[in-house]
């Protein structure tokens, strides 16, 4: 089977956290001519291993994933950057006569890839008030340097003392996870590809089963040394809760626990609640998404069912 220039088929595997996306993708990789591209805002960061559910180093060596461990946790990754890199990897995989398979739960990344980037977001008064306080304490030049570190393309077009434009550029990043230059770039929809979108969802299975999986998954992370992982990240000295990497679900709660804001049991409960909220948000996205093939995440023969479906769609 070859991906001709006319078809350019690509597979999406999406779903809420703890629904089994990674295990499914690994199974499919053994049975289809696919290469995996991660669609996850936490897996891009080096050092975010246990709490992100990152595949083990042994698995990554056996089954390489693109867009995993590509940034330091003090860097910022935008939807626009994801789109650029994902398209580059997709074309590379197609050139090898294989099928790109994008796997993950970052729905905004999937959307940016499919539809291009939307208009920049509006104002956020709370963010602006906080930024004014930071400007008073740290100085406008410090905020300008922060902008340069995140979005040099926009930053170099702004005078270091032009607070209003610095404020707006940082506000866009805060609200959208994208840079101002991302929005300026002309983006087109994913028209050159035939997308086969598989979504894992609680169709017949009660959502409580997914919630139980989330609890079990977090407890397993704790047993594997998640708290020690976050402690090591804190000891770097260049990270804080202002960074997207440390605001990731789980990492933020463990960080606050290590800061003494609450005890271990409260931390666990807050992390689980935040993960459930994330899953709910992911499912809301998926239920509105057109042209998806939904499979119940707890289907006994899920892997085989998805394989048969994809074999037919790729034929």
Tell me the two tokens of residue 308: 């048969």
Q: Which pLDDT does position 69 carry in this prediction? A: 97
Residues 161 and 76 in one domain: no
Q: Which pLDDT does position 5 carry in this prediction? A: 47
52 lies in some domain: yes
**Does residue 141 sit in helix, strand or coil?**
helix
Closest listed residue to residue 315, CA positions, set 5, 95, 7, 94:
7
1 lies in some domain: no
17 lies in some domain: yes
Q: Which pLDDT does position 177 carry in this prediction? A: 76
Closest listed residue to residue 157, CA positions, set 65, 149, 166:
166
| Ordered alpha helix ranges (H), the chain | 21-31, 57-62, 79-95, 107-115, 125-138, 140-150, 152-155, 163-176, 180-184, 207-224, 226-235, 251-258, 264-287, 302-314
Query: Strand pairing of 292-296 and 34-39?
Result: unpaired
Residues 160 and 17 in one domain: no
Residues 93 and 210 in one domain: yes
Q: Which residues of the chain have pLDDT under 50?
A: 1, 4-5, 186
Boundary of a domain, candidates 136, 156, 184:
184
Closest listed residue to residue 15, CA positions, set 103, 83, 82:
103
Three-class DSSP labels, 22-51: HHHHHHHHHHCCEEEEEECCCCCECCCCCC
Side-chain half-sphere CA neighbours of 192 within 13 A: 10
pLDDT tens readout for residues 148-187: 888 888 888 888 888 988 998 898 888 877 777 666 554 5
65 lies in some domain: yes
pTM of this structure: 0.79
Structural domain span for residue 141 = 125-184
Neighbours of 11 (CB within 10 A): 24
């Amino acid at each position: 089977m070859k991906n001709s220039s006319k078809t350019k088929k690509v597979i999406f595997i999406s779903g809420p956290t703890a629904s089994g996306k990674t295990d499914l993708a690994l199974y499919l990789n053994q049975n289809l001519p696919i290469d995996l591209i991660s669609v996850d805002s936490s897996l891009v960061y080096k050092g975010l291993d246990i709490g992100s559910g990152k595949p083990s180093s042994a698995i990554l060596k056996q089954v390489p994933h693109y867009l995993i461990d590509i940034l330091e946790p003090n860097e910022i990754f935008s939807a626009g950057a994801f789109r650029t890199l994902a398209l580059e990897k997709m074309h590379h995989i197609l050139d090898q006569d294989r099928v790109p398979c994008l796997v993950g739960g970052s729905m905004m990344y999937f959307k940016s890839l499919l539809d291009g980037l939307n208009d920049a977001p509006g104002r956020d008064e709370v963010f602006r008030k906080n930024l004014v306080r930071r400007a008073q304490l740290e100085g406008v030049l410090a905020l300008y340097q922060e902008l340069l570190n995140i979005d040099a393309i926009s930053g170099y077009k702004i005078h270091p003392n032009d607070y209003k434009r610095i404020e707006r550029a940082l506000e866009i990043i805060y609200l959208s996870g994208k840079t101002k230059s991302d929005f300026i770039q002309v983006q087109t929809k994913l028209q050159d590809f035939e997308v086969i979108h598989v979504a894992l969802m609680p169709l017949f299975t009660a959502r409580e089963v997914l919630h139980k999986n989330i609890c079990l998954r977090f407890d397993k992370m704790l047993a594997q040394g998640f708290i020690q992982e976050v402690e090591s990240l804190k000891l770097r000295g260049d990270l804080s809760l202002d960074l997207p990497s440390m605001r990731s679900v789980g990492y933020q709660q463990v960080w606050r626990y290590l800061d003494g804001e609450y005890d271990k049991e409260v931390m666990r409960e807050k992390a689980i609640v935040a993960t459930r909220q994330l899953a709910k948000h992911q499912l809301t996205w998926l239920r509105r998404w057109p042209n998806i093939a939904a499979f119940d995440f707890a289907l006994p023969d899920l892997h085989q069912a998805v394989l048969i479906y994809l074999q037919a769609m790729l034929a």
